[in-house]
A and B are shown apart, each in its own frame.
Chain A
Amino acid sequence: MSEDLHSAVAAGVLGAEKDYRELLQSIVEVARAIFRAKASSIFLLDEATDELVFEAVAGEGSDSLVGVRFPSSTGIAGFVLVSRQPLVIEDVLEDPRFSRETAESTGFVPKGLMAVPLLHEERALGVLEVLDRPSDAHFSLAEMELLGLFANQAAIALDLLQRARRAQEVLADQGDAAVLARLAQKLELRRAEEEDSAAAELLAALEKVL
């Protein structure tokens, strides 16, 4: 079974992308709330174009940034992605290029930010950022730990989202794999709706053939 077909079947596909998008949105909402931050976002690495894309945004910029793209290896998010290192900027002491450049990739000028790579197995999938925590909030190693835990969760969600999208592409395709994937999807749906004996029998027969 090809990897894409496997993804198509495994993801259950219909509606999955929407669910995973909601999961990502929920992660940035919770990250923003826990760190009492002004905004939080998740960037997905688009390997085809080598760009980072805003996939979910909470707080400032949530109505305008989703879908916005920028080059993958510049700025803080780009560095975090390449280095696989979390980076926290607590405070801007002297206003350097930092403000302008991060404003371009965040929609506003933050005083500080936390950025952490989203890693799943060998792959770097994207970056989670939390912008502008309250000025009285002292950063500690415990918060770095917390950020890492969030990143792990976000990376899993991002991986699922990517799988769902690949699966959608397979379904939209006309090849043999797509026919099989569509069949698997239909069977799955029918089985979910009721105890469909015809579907169960067909599955059992297929199992035998395989």
Chain B
Amino acid sequence: MTEEPLPAWSLPTDAVERIALPEAWPGEVTREWAWGEATGAGVRVCILDSGVETGHSVVGDVQESIAISLDGDEVIVDRKDTAGDLCGHGTACAGIVRALAPECELASVRVLGAGFTGSGAVLLEGLRWAVEQGYDVINMSLSTTKQKFASLLHELADSAYFRRTMLVASAHNMPVESYPWRFSSVISVGSHDQQDPFLYYYNPSPPVEFFARGVDVEVAWMGGGRLVCTGNSFATPHITGIAALMLSKHPELTPFQLKSLLFLTSTNVGGES
């Protein structure tokens, strides 16, 4: 936009035209409109996890491999991380996203490996770094129960939301509070037990907002392996992959609109199963 930026918190009548949306939504939003023919091309997806194995047949190319660690208070960013995947989980998530959005760009931001102690701080710094890079979607299964990180994570989640980075986070059903999946600026995902990767439900009783395939999912694993896994952390990359498809077809969507589009195309709302 070459014009003067609008004032941040108000909209004068003569500026209304300037926020006209480029694309009108149809009366009935269909999945065909939402992502028909889309491949994920042009969308940058970040897997904030245990690392991603490069060259796995299911995952294909990984455009960036970054590792975040802490040395005291100093954040170390290794932009050429060669450690691969330390657990297998990040590779699994990347494979699911790749299967749904074959032409998206994948970036692995590894925040695991330096020990449990300090892992909350590394998670926070990894997320901060990923948000600063402006990825379109960040997939994260990691969370923290530490109250002291909650407000910082909240700020980061909001800042991602305002910068058009959609955070997709695994919900969990343990009887404790954890973050950042509970924040309303992220998309939180739980599991259903059906097999269709494009079957997803909107949950009218948040905090968990969507349910996607998370039981008996065949996934890539480190060492070129493949496993059958269950957990919300495998449901999450299904929504990430579908979000990548939507953004590749409608790159102008804000996180708010993206969430609305997921809602409108959910199997229990208007989407076909």
Instruction: Mark A residues whose CB is within 8 Å of B.
Output: 45, 47, 50, 71-76, 78-79, 81-98, 117, 119-124, 139-141, 144-145, 148, 151-152
Number of interface residues of B (CB under 8 A): 46
A96 touches B224 (CB 8 A): yes
Interface flag for B54 (CB, 8 Å): no
A78 touches B87 (CB 8 A): yes
Which of A124, A140, A145 neighbours the largest number of chain B CB atoms within 10 Å of its CB?
Answer: A124
- Inter-chain CA distance A76–B114, complex, in Å, is 15
- Inter-chain CA distance A27–B177, complex, in Å, is 24
B35 to chain A, nearest CB (A): 27
Closest B residue to A88 by beta carbon equals: B230
List the A side residues contacting B222 at CB < 8 Å: 96-98
A90 touches B216 (CB 8 A): yes
A77 to chain B, nearest CB (A): 10
- Inter-chain CA distance A71–B115, complex, in Å, is 7
- Inter-chain CA distance A96–B225, complex, in Å, is 4
B228 touches A50 (CB 8 A): no
List the B side residues contacting A145 at CB < 8 Å: 173
A92 to chain B, nearest CB (A): 6
A26 to chain B, nearest CB (A): 21
A92 touches B225 (CB 8 A): yes
B193 to chain A, nearest CB (A): 5
- Inter-chain CA distance A165–B172, complex, in Å, is 30
In-complex Cβ contact of B225 among A76, A88, A97 (8 A): A97
Which of A73, A75, A91, A141 neighbours the largest number of chain B CB atoms within 10 Å of its CB?
Answer: A73
Which of A83, A94, A95, A123 neighbours the largest number of chain B CB atoms within 10 Å of its CB?
Answer: A83
Closest A residue to B91 by beta carbon equals: A96
For the A-B complex, the count of residue pairs with Cβ-Cβ distances under 8 Å equals 147
Residue pairs across A and B with Cβ atoms less than 8 A apart, 24 shown, are A50-B116, A73-B119, A75-B87, A76-B88, A81-B116, A82-B112, A83-B142, A83-B233, A84-B143, A84-B172, A85-B232, A86-B172, A90-B228, A93-B225, A96-B226, A97-B223, A98-B222, A119-B176, A121-B145, A122-B145, A141-B191, A144-B173, A145-B173, A148-B174
B87-98 vs A, Cβ < 8 Å mask (1 yes, 0 no): 111000000000
B116 touches A73 (CB 8 A): yes
A89 touches B229 (CB 8 A): yes
- Inter-chain CA distance A158–B133, complex, in Å, is 41
Whether A74 contacts B216 in the complex (CB less than 8 A), given A94-B224, A96-B224, comes out as no
In-complex Cβ contact of A94 among B114, B225, B232 (8 A): B225
- Inter-chain CA distance A84–B225, complex, in Å, is 24
Add 18 more A-B contacts to A76-B88, A79-B88, A95-B225 (CB < 8 A). A73-B114, A78-B87, A83-B141, A84-B178, A85-B142, A85-B170, A90-B229, A91-B227, A92-B225, A93-B218, A93-B228, A96-B221, A98-B225, A120-B176, A124-B116, A141-B191, A148-B173, A148-B175
In-complex Cβ contact of B145 among A47, A87, A123 (8 A): A123
Interface flag for B50 (CB, 8 Å): yes
- Inter-chain CA distance A32–B146, complex, in Å, is 31
B69 to chain A, nearest CB (A): 11
A82 touches B227 (CB 8 A): no
- Inter-chain CA distance A88–B178, complex, in Å, is 20
List the A side residues contacting B112 at CB < 8 Å: 73, 78-79, 82
Closest A residue to B233 by beta carbon equals: A85
